[in-house]
Structure 1
Amino acid sequence: MSPLLGEPAPDFGDPLGLLAACHGRMRGFCNLLERLPDWVDAQGVDAEAVAGMQRTLNYFDLAAPLHHADEEEDLFPLLAADAACAQLIDRLRSEHRQLEQHWHTLATLLRGLQSGARVDGARLRDATTTFCSACRDHIAVEDERLLPAAHARLQAPQLAAMSEHMARRRRPADAQ
């Protein structure tokens, strides 16, 4: 580890590490989102607020759906044969749909703010709290239960196939 740069980010060679790193980014964006309502109250929708909203929109609109696909199309099927994991996977799939709904509500408010619409501060706070709380709770379950199960059960060939699928999912369509 570099004292200045910190730990290097995992790459596709470590698919479980990559999923965990995505969870870290999601927590970071939730921290930003939770500061946003007070920022907007104090500073208005300034350039910094717009930039923060855009980065957050980009992440949860583009990267988060790929992350869910990585889990649902690759990781979950590899673990579903285990009865203990199967029940957990059903719960996590359901939570993914709930998170997508919460995100849609919050993203609509953020886009409104970006375009100059007046957004009720209490509504923004409620949507932010709902999304971030659900996101953190979901990530905690995946970090504490799903990823340890995956580390214990998956073998190198399964992880290699998962890595390839994750990388392919992120390639531009014309490069595939």
Structure 2
Amino acid sequence: MNNFSQCHAGIVRHLDTFGELPALLAPAQRAREVAEDIVKFFRAAAFEHHEEEERELFPAVLGSSAPGEERALVKQMIDALTREHRDIEKQWNALEPQLKKVAKGQAVDIDPQAIASLVAQYKAHARFEELEFLPLSEKILGRNSDHMAALGLSLHMRHQPIFLGHI
């Protein structure tokens, strides 16, 4: 007598796997949305933010700082922030092609540590600006009646809540 008791085992195994699909669709869709959002946001907002700081805010603060110790501190901070901008941009440039693939739903081998590193570095960069550089900038620019210097700080502060809200 033939034993047919296991004849559907392969079918059942495939059906079990197929049954996992609905639970996987929402995270996959969320991954595409997150990747698409950060790709649209990062280059336009973050790179523009860096450019505005370097073009307007940094020179205004440096130019209005008191000669000597204060100016040396400001120069040191600006140099460090500018180096961080380049490093963050370099990290982003390495991740962006992979993120574009994720946004399109394509399979990609993305390094989770690279993402974690970029996120951590940018958050630390933003924290330093918020807690150290911007208060010093406000103090320095507050002593100067130059409207362009005030505009540099104003531009920075206007973009900051939007920028940090997405990170």
TM-score range, shorter chain: 0.5 to 0.7
1:50 and 1:114 in contact (8 A); partners too: yes
CA-CA distance at 1:74 after TM superposition: 0.6
Counterparts of 1:140-151 in structure 2 under 5 Å? 140-151=127-138
Matches of 1:67 and 1:126, distance apart in 2: 25
Q: Which has the larger radius of gyration?
A: 2
1:68 and 1:96 in contact (8 A); partners too: yes
Q: Equivalent residue of 1:85, what SS?
A: helix
Q: Counterpart of 2:102?
A: 113
Identity of aligned residues (%): 29
Counterparts of 1:86-105 in structure 2 under 5 Å? 86-105=75-94
**Structure 1 unaligned spans of 5+:** 1-41, 168-176
Q: Counterpart of 1:19?
A: none
The alignment's TM-score, normalised by the length of structure 1, stands at 0.61
CA, structure 1 residues 47+127, in 2 after alignment: closer, same or farther (shift >3 Å)?
A: same
**Letter of the structure 2 residue corresponding to residue 106 of structure 1:** L
CA, structure 1 residues 63+161, in 2 after alignment: closer, same or farther (shift >3 Å)?
A: closer
Alignment partner of 2:24 out of 43, 46, 56: 43
1:70 and 1:166 in contact (8 A); partners too: no
**Structure 2 unaligned spans of 5+:** 1-22, 64-70, 159-167
User: Over the residues paired in the alignment, what is the CA RMSD in angstroms?
Assistant: 2.6
Question: Once the two structures are superposed, what CA deviation does each residue of 1:63-107 show, in whole Å capped at 9, x if it has no partner?
Answer: 111111111001110122422110110011011000001111222
CA-CA distance at 1:118 after TM superposition: 2.2
Matches of 2:83 and 2:41, distance apart in 1: 21
**Letter of the structure 2 residue corresponding to residue 61 of structure 1:** R
Counterparts of 1:65-80 in structure 2 under 5 Å? 65-80=47-62
Q: Counterpart of 1:124?
A: 111
CA-CA distance at 1:163 after TM superposition: 4.7
